[in-house]
Amino acid sequence: MCGVAGCLGLADGALPDTEWVRRATMRQAHRGPDDDGYYTDPDLALGFRRLAVIELGARQPVQSADGRYVAAIDGEIYNFGELASRLRVRGVPLRTGSVAEVLVEMYAWLGRDVVRQLRGMYAFVVWDRRDRELFCARDPFGIKPFFYMLSSGAHGPQLRFASERKALAGPGEVSSLDPDALRRYLSFQYVPAPATLTPPARSLPPGHVLIARVGGSVDVFRYWRAEFKPARSPSAEAPEKILDALRDSVGAHLRTDVPLGAFLSGGIDSAALCALAAEVRPDLMTFTVGFEREGYSEIEYAAETATALGIKSVPYVVTPAEFASCLPRIIWHLDDPLADASAIPLWFAAREARRHVKVVLSGEGADELFGGYRMYYQRLAVRTGKVLPGWTRGLIGQAAATMSAGSKLAGLLDRTITPLHRRYIGNAYIYRGRQARELLRASSNRTPPPSEFDVTDPVYRQAADANLDDVATMQLVDVNTWLPGDILAKADRVSMAHGLELRTPYLDREVMAVAARLARVEKTAAGTTKFALREAVSSLLPQAVDERAKLGFPVPLGHWLADGMYGYAEQIIRTAQTGQWLDQRAALDVLRRFRAGDPGITWRHVWLLVVFSLWHQIYVERAYDPVALGWTYQ
């Protein structure tokens, strides 16, 4: 796990900006506190910060044995040992056998097809010194980030790239926002790739490569696409296949030369990983955070699980005051605004874990692959609504319109008559069409207005072509949007904020291959979720853990915002200089309606506006100085 930054001159004689590369590299020093390295030639400047966890003495950037290729990688290749053996059979001399050296020699052998041989999480660059071509790739699920932008100036046209968006444009350097990206943020609670909120910065989507040539073009291609192929009926062998794939993946993810632990909540996802890891590492340490308010802490559940598994549990309780004091720094680390409240307790969990270990296992991806979200479990009324005649759906719509906004019955009726592709854009759907437009200033609205469905419609077309059922369709939407845009983005930024490598064994190609074949009934059956996964790991866990509902680092923000944090939220929204983009009067009205108990407004509507306003103060207004505050280096 590391930080990569670089600058490629795109025209003959367009020199790379080496000073910018140095600054961008240092802004990511938290990603790699152990070492740095640089490479320069007339076309490319490349910087690297290293978090050493395997082959501790190896350095990057690294050159191939023949000197033609230069590479740097953020992430891990879990089958690098097997790949190294293949290279040795071919007679390739390996000096260190490090992940980066194996990668560059595999590229020298296979070229662009190397991405089809890799098992892991990665964002890497390979520079071909002879053909003057830069090859960049991001892993299939989007576990590791990669940002880039085209720029021009005194040095000529350039391609700049980095592991974090803040390295491309930091506080005080953001001069404009993308109104379409802001519109989608209001719906998704994050900015979907490839856009960012700060053009011209772009995010390389998961499973894509970028190829840039000096004197030529910059092109982006997809090399991998998630696919679900659910069986028509359940298989008696499914639990065994799941367990075998998980045990193999966990074993691969345990490869490290430094202390390793795991995040442990009260649910089955992390407990299963800990149980499998403890088979190999009985001294495994686990880390859990919670809050003092009843119903918002999994510390007790995690401790029970750890005791049953014979491993150590390290708890930490986050106070409201500590939450508020660390919030600006957390939002700075997140790059673009990301209003998933669970990012905050995850940040504290990473901080505590880093005091003991350098690598943690975490359960991201289990819900998306195995059907873990309650919304996948469609009520009969919703499923029946698809076949109702138009006049019946019209009557249901009229009945829903007479009910108070936000009521559960009105929501059920709305889901009954609304097609899936117009009501599901992922796990978060905060502000819908007109609601979002009412919050935006006229200058931020254009005709025709951008739609959240522009992001998900291509996924729905893929699902229709594959004739997927509703559960598999929602999984496909989440794997393409929610998982990389929210879940993995926050996991990467808050863990790397502390120089902690976070590994996700569920997001493995072999685990995906098994999960993709599960029948619908193996995901949502017997009134529960992740049915086949629960069956697979039941023998490893206490019965209470197997049956326990997932909480997922809950945060009592609803209670805080209605009480002690109300003034804090109001001050942030009121004082942020967001008037060019956001109708602050409408935003403050959302806060007021929430406190008044309006059933159509939840704390998530408020939190999304608080996060954007605070992000604007940090990155646009520079109300906070990350260097002076010790968050980063100049």
pLDDT confidence of residue 407: 55
Strand order in the sheet with 44-50: 35-40, 44-50, 2-9, 158-162, 147-151, 202-203
Closest CA to 583 of 430, 416, 441: 441
Per-residue tokens: 555:
């945060």
Whole-number pLDDT of residue 381: 47
Residues 6+ apart with CB under 8 A from 244: none
Query: What is the reported pLDDT for 390?
Result: 60
Q: Are 259 and 287 in contact (CB under 8 A)?
A: no
Q: With b meaning 16 or more CB within 10 Å and e meaning fewer, what string describes 326-345? A: ebbbbbbbbbbbbbbbbbbb
Task: Tell me the C-alpha distance between 457 and 330, whole Å.
Answer: 32
Question: CA–CA separation, 96 vs 99, rounded Å?
Answer: 9
- Answer whether 80's CB lies under 8 Å from 91's CB: no
CATH number of 238-372+478-547: 3.40.50.620
**Closest residue by Cα to residue 141 from 193, 184, 182:** 193
Residues of the chain with CATH 3.60.20.10: 2-181+200-222
Q: 18: which 2 tokens?
A: 């080496």
CATH class of 2-181+200-222: alpha beta
Peptide bond into 239 cis (omega under 30): no
Catalytic site positions: 2
Q: What is the mean pLDDT of each run of 10 residues along the chain (634 residues)?
A: 93 90 96 95 97 87 96 96 95 91 97 96 98 98 97 85 95 88 97 96 98 94 97 95 98 95 93 96 95 86 92 94 94 97 95 97 97 79 56 55 54 71 93 91 68 95 97 97 98 97 97 97 86 94 71 83 93 96 96 94 97 97 91 74
pLDDT on residue 551: 62
Q: Which ranges in the chain are annotated with CATH 3.40.50.620?
A: 238-372+478-547
* pLDDT number for residue 458: 97
Q: How many alpha carbons lie under 13 Å from residue 104 in its C-beta half-sphere?
A: 29
